[in-house]
């Protein structure tokens, strides 16, 4: 026989140990390292493309090469920006958590 009693689940509130300033800062360090690596990769790719121009007289070849180079540098720059913004967000969250703990303000579920 099947039971017709649906289980009521209350929304779970994460405990205070799951989000801490230490975890935010360590995540920001990792994300910042990735952003730095992507920045160095972007600079290296751009320099490599600048040092090696396309040797062709065909305009279609030149247009395709320019589009591909732009796409590659753009994607690398996008990676740099995403990790940099994540780093800033994690640092801001760490500051917010420290301020909340210093003022002993309880975090309500709607703030999460």
Contact 15, 92 (CB under 8 A): no
Residues in the chain: 112
Contact 54, 89 (CB under 8 A): no
Q: State if pTM tops 0.75.
A: no
Q: What is the per-residue pLDDT across 87-112, written as a single tens digit (0 to 9) for each?
A: 999 999 999 999 988 887 555 666 66
pLDDT at residue 92 in the model = 96
Contact 2, 61 (CB under 8 A): no
pLDDT at residue 33 in the model = 97
CA distance 62 to 56: 7
pLDDT band of residue 19 (cuts 50, 70, 90) is: confident
The domain limits of the chain are 21-105
Q: Percent of the chain scored above 90 by pLDDT?
A: 69
């Amino acid at each position: 026989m099947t039971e017709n009693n649906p289980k009521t689940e209350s929304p779970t509130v994460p405990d205070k140990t799951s989000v801490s300033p230490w975890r935010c800062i360590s995540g920001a360090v990792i994300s910042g390292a990735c952003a730095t690596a992507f920045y160095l990769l972007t600079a290296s790719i751009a320099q490599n493309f600048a040092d090696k121009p396309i040797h062709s007289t065909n305009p279609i070849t030149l247009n395709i090469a320019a589009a591909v180079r732009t796409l590659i540098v753009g994607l690398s720059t996008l990676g740099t920006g995403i990790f940099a913004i994540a780093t800033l967000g994690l640092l801001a969250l760490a500051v917010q958590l420290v301020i909340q703990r210093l003022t002993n303000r309880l975090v309500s579920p709607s703030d999460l």
